[in-house]
Chain A
Amino acid sequence: MKKIIATALCLMMAGSLMVGCGGEKTTREDAGGGTATAAAAGGESNKVTVDPYSGDQVKIAYVAHDLGTPNNQGWKEGIERECASWDNIKVDSYNAESSAETQVQIMSDVISQKYNAIILQCSDGTALAPSVKQAEEAGIPVITVNLDADTVHSALVMAVDYDAGRMAAEQMAKDIGESGEIAIIQGVPGLKRTDNLEKGFRDTIANYSGIEIVDAQSASFEKETAITVMNSFLQSHPNLKGVFAINDAMAEGAALAAESAGKKGQLSIWGADGEKDALAMIESGDMTGTIYTNSWDEGSTAAKIALLMIGSEYSYNVLEKTPQVIMEPIVVTKDNVASIPEEDRW
């Protein structure tokens, strides 16, 4: 009897797997309405306006994906600097510890505490969409940073993603003479920004017939893991000429691995973000280049938008899509790294 049940379970599982591999994706009809329907456009403004610049008490919540990373610290710093001159503006930071579930819990907490605005880096744009919508409906503007939410909200402040991938690809192609084997070190799959970066890179590389992407592995955005991944790349592809890592931490790891394999400076190693350590490694010749964005500036831009939203009667339900503010990217190589002053390195 037990065996029969077990076999039946196996078949069910196998069945659902096959379904997953083969078929076309279907669209489901929503029967009940309610939770999934968007707010009617042009409705009454639900905003309670206070003026942060004339002394009203204002509190802003910054809900980060993982406060331990330089990027998140950079934004936090930027937001706090922007608000530091006003005694009546308070900023609280929350750490989701890289988990969308935790972030959803924090969001409902922040909404019930009636913050005036939320600056959010979505761990998962789809998973956070209901929370973002709930906040906007409660009259709390949500400004996302880099990682978008799959629902219309007040604003998205982002560093370029697709174009950063494109720029890195163009630069790398130039470096390696438009031919040879290259590899990609991926982040955690399923994040829009990093997926777009990779897509930009792949689409551009496809224009060069001489260049072949021989491998792509995930190192979960982590430096240590990237060292392992890079080592396996170097072993299985001895002719590797270039590596593109989706973020700088992984590019740093790749550079360290290349150095210990005695290949310092022989590979074209590109990252994206432009954090302090990566710029130092470009200066020392370990890394080839990165696409730099000023994270402090990005954080303070998000804070400025938040304060503007708090002070205006403008409400999200007049929007058809999320307004975007895109930060200027700078291609950094050894030649121009010195032009980024110390006070702009985060």
Chain B
Amino acid sequence: MKEMNQTTLRRLISVGLLAILIALFTAMVGAGSGKFLNAENLMAIVRDASVPGIIGVGVTYVIITSGIDLSTGSMIALVGMVMANVYAYTLLPIPVMILTGILAGLLCGFFNGFIVAKLEIPEFIGTLATMSVFRALAYIIAIKDANGVIMSQPMNVSQYAFLGSTIGGSSKGIPYVCVALVIFVVVGQIVLRYTRFGTNLYAVGANKKAATLSGINVERIRMMAFVITGFCTAVGAVFTTARLQSATTALGTDFEFSPIAAAVVGGVALSGGSGDVVGTLIGALFMATLENGVRKLDMNTAYQYVIKGVIIICVVMFDAVYKKRMDRIAKEKGAKEGLE
């Protein structure tokens, strides 16, 4: 019961910070101008948060087990390229093409899980290595012209491109990717909170040895977290390439930190064992709001980066102070109970 109250409090704080950020930008951009606070722009923010949010579901699982996945950006490129190959060289129907892409993502995730959990290579180095490997594979299978120069492959048939647009196709509709985001977050949160697998993720993250001793197959849990990340990343890649109506080897460059940042800002501790998917969703929305709002401030780009950096530091610092306080309260309580 007490633990529940704490998470509720943490959630309220996250939502509060997001609200403060929105209020701040509304005021700074000019409340009267309606440039920031309008339905169209808020929908654009949710849309921009969607791909990091979807991939963030998997990344949250990995971080909860105290791992990290740096390869998601390159994975987007590889999944995109696998689909581009099916698109360019076969006449297989679009759903089969998407399925092939998803399988590629699962395989990438499986590979990550294998080297991290089975071969016991530290996550940071292991996924840093696969980040290069996946990118390189994307280059190898890339579509090339007669001179061997890599080309961007258009994927613009409407049976596919509609995924990148909105329901009904009008610019004011709800983008499909946002619907996918909602599904992923709801399912991801339910799995995390109400299944044995979810509980095991926390157990592994909190203390691997204790988890092993209590009969949890730690290896399998960690592997599963990476496979799920692969799946989420593949879905993210489908929506990204559908929106761009094309695939290139440059897809997802520098993307890998977006879902990680979303998770951390949303209260998922990099040390593992805490946080949840809804937190990551709020984090993703926070980052997208920041990105969108700063762009509208009529400011030199260099200062935009400074503002972004300072706000992120403030949020994470706030989180650290909050955690310290919570730890102290817990300790004091423990001491009191010990005296009694």
Contact = CB atoms under 8 A, between A and B. Distances in A.
A134 to B, nearest CB: 7
Contacts of B147: 198-199, 202
Contacts of B40: 112
Interface in A88-116: 92-95, 97-101, 104-106, 108-109, 112-113
Contacts of B88: 20, 25-26
B142 to A, nearest CB: 7
B243 A104 contact: yes
Contacts of B85: 16-17, 19-20
B103 A9 contact: yes
A46 B258 CA distance: 38
Question: Size range of the interface on B?
Answer: 35 or more
A189 B150 contact: yes
A97 B159 contact: no
B169 A35 contact: yes
A198 to B, nearest CB: 7
A270 B265 CA distance: 47
Interface string B243-262: 11110111111110000000
A125 interface: yes
Contact of B87 (A28, A67, A104, A129): A28
A259 interface: no
B110 A32 contact: no
Interface string B107-143: 1001000000000000000000000000000010111
B187 to A, nearest CB: 21
B248 A16 contact: no
A13 B110 CA distance: 13
Given A113-B35, A124-B248, A130 B159 contact: no
Contacts of A130: 156, 161, 164, 243-245
A190 B253 contact: no
Main secondary structure of the interface of A (DSSP, over half): helix
A217 interface: no
B153 interface: yes
B152 A124 contact: yes
A21 B44 CA distance: 38
B89 A20 contact: yes
Contacts of B48: 105
A31 B159 CA distance: 7
A166 to B, nearest CB: 15
Interface of B: 35, 40-41, 44, 48, 51, 82, 85-91, 100, 103-104, 106-107, 110, 139, 141-143, 145, 147, 149-154, 156-159, 161-162, 164-165, 169, 171, 240, 243-246, 248-255, 291-292, 295-296, 298, 301, 304
